[in-house]
Structure 1
């Protein structure tokens, strides 16, 4: 059983939704981002999404775009991100890790080699935001061979007629992009979420994680109770950015972000 399935099964037995925080690898440097990664499970992360810095993050809003720039300036590479995961696995072999990124770095690395190396490093799932289902065969066979879940994105404007095609080979969980547009902008209302989820449930039994625009503990609790998980990204990155001094980490960076994560986790668990 994959770590992702095991974690969602355990949380379902507990009767609560999951919290999935996001961090941008190498933001603002390798040491700081690795410290955040290692601290997230104790702060309440049930699964963790790691962003792979990319020069043209078209799905992301200005907050995560700035984080990607900082990560690239700090020397981030795809191989370096896998080394981060490998270091995390030295102390944690249970928390699922999902890499979120864009196709170009994987294509340059070599899809077959990447899937093999990612699995060995301890990656559990992939979110490739610019890889349409029609071209997913570029990764699907190698991902499956190496036990990696390919997380399918579904948006509010995805037609019902397309859902069976999108989700027929999906695994791990469904990532519901709760708004149209880029990350970190507006937030979907509870009514919007409640109306959207039944059409996904009708097609797939996979857990549904809700992301894009979730910024507060209350919003995260709402998303995790309507769906099966809440993904919190820009809010944590924004907080990290406020702790930096001329783009560099300070002693406040790691504890401030982890305290915010713990506050969000408390709300999610209480819901």
Structure 2
């Protein structure tokens, strides 16, 4: 991206926590900001009014429930109807691991779908709009460093635990960014935004966390900072080494094949 002042940015999960903090920063620095949340626009009007008064950006809003992959397709179509160019896609939408294992509307383990499958599907559908100078950002988590993704158990039927479900969904995001960097132009990176005080954090961990503004600033840096190596994993604003499984090229390719199989009905036009 050559000029942030003329950029169009799509930010998912923008109505609370780190996403809302990032949206407030982006509203003052880009030309067009499309924010996404699961709520209808009427429920987030105060935030949208705040964003419109906070800076120069043209603000758009799109609602989609990532528990339904058809909603992800509809979101991509709405974005395409709004603009013919998206310079930065920030996949920030996420959920904590459910207290008990549950399926999404589409029959997949719910945390994996919302945090990973939806982000990959949205990215795939929007790629025709992203220029070679653009960037995709996956908002991940340092919890991925302790996770293992068992490819023979993508639905986590064995030994489900909420924090493990969350961490492995983030490991998948980091691995996806690392794999796609060798196959894609635009750039793609993943970022741990910090340990930030949000409802998501408190749903799983008994820690306080930093203000949401810090996490938002780290996400914005990942989106707009020039010179980041494609495929990099950022620990806040520092390029860091990801989990060992992410560094395994065979795992990355096998995860990609699995992901494309799971998303097949939404990628090949059958839905």
Q: TM-score range by the shorter chain?
A: 0.3 to 0.5
Task: Report the TM-score, using the length of structure 2 for normalisation.
Answer: 0.35
What is the TM-score with the length of structure 1 in the denominator? 0.35
Q: Which has the higher contact order (CA 8 A, sep 6+)?
A: 1
* Higher normalized helix content (fraction of residues): 1
